[in-house]
Amino acid sequence: MSKINTKTLKIILCFVTFFLISSFASAGTSPRKPKSVGKKVENTIFRGKEDRERSSVVSTPSSDVFAGNSRESERVTQVLLGDEFRVTKEDKGWAYGYIPSQKGYRGWIRKDDISFTPAAYSAKDKPFVRVKNARARITFRDGSFINVYAGTRLPFLGKDNRRYEVVVPDGSTGYLPAEAVLVESELAAKEITAEDILQASKFHGSDYRWGGITSGGMDCSGFVYTAFRLNGIYLKRDSYLQAEEGRDVPLAELKAGDLVFFKSAKASRITHVGIYIGNGNFIHSSQGKKGVAVSSLSDEHFKNNFAGARRVLNGPYGAIEGTKAGERTPGPRDKRET
């Protein structure tokens, strides 16, 4: 009995000693943080805008931006070659951030589609050209080429009679045909008219594509966004957000270039947008029309769902309202938008 009690006592003394040593060792330290469960977030969230937010630039002709960090998630918009993408979070092969040229629209982009050290940004003080054609080709000295889309803007180094030498994000230079681009400094001095906006008719027949902004496929607000972007006017990205731009216009006072909006009875907000072209007609990209087409406001569907109009071009056209950059707008997209 005595032998058993001695052995038991030794075991108890060992536990007491271990407890006392552990208590002294941990004195003055913070409690251990619980391990995160589910999706790993350590080392992916930037903890301060000033020291962790990073600027990147899109390095492909166009790149899809998603609601989540997966190609299977919803595509919410697209960005074009040379567009800035401000990264605030990274997760494996994906980056989350916002798009200044779309007034802060947010989403996930594949990191392979962006560059964090864009050589093109060393040319910030150089003039820029903007692609005006639905598509244009940049050719390089080695004979290779890439096709780019309307609205793409790149710095240029010089011009001859036929082409502009432009800088692409990897730092190499190529050539764009002179007839395919506009010089931004000349565009800035130009009065933008309804006729300029309606040059978007060049997209007539383009396919409907949810989240798209290019001639390869565009949704209704992507079509409107691109039509104005071509003229140096940057609207918000979604139809219900574009309904905040400019000022209200009564139906009886519609002019070409005005935005027209629609909302079904079941929807809580604007779900469709087009550009008025005159004579009771408007141009838009529609699922029902399977792409960019012209429709009449007197059609029963559009007449019953008309939700108002806005004028972004003001007065004698050229004065621009509602184009402040840098605003952060919500995502993901509203799937009821048509």
In degrees and rounded to multiples of 5, residue 97 shows phi and psi of: 180, -160
What's the distance, CA 125 to chain centroid? 24
- The DSSP secondary-structure symbol of 208 reads B
284 is catalytic: yes
- Tell me which of 14, 204, 220, 301 is the catalytic residue: 220
Task: Yes or no: say if 97 and 110 are a contact pair by the CB < 8 Å rule.
Answer: no
Amino acid letter at 117? T
CA-wise closest residue to 86 among 64, 40, 53, 132: 53
CB neighbourhood size of 149 (10 A): 21
* CA pair distance 79, 85, nearest whole angstrom: 8
Q: Which residues pair with 62 in a beta bridge?
A: 80
The end-to-end CA distance of the chain, in Å, is 87
Beta sheet of 281-286, edge-to-edge order? 247-248, 306-311, 259-262, 272-278, 281-286, 291-296
142: alpha, beta or left? (left if phi > 0; alpha if psi -120 to 50):
alpha
14 is catalytic: no
Look at the block and give the residue holding tokens 């244009």: 136
Task: Yes or no: say if 213 and 226 are a contact pair by the CB < 8 Å rule.
Answer: yes
Strand pairing report for 163-167 and 153-159: antiparallel
Task: Yes or no: say if 178 and 163 are a contact pair by the CB < 8 Å rule.
Answer: yes
* CA pair distance 164, 150, nearest whole angstrom: 16
Active site residues: 220, 272, 284
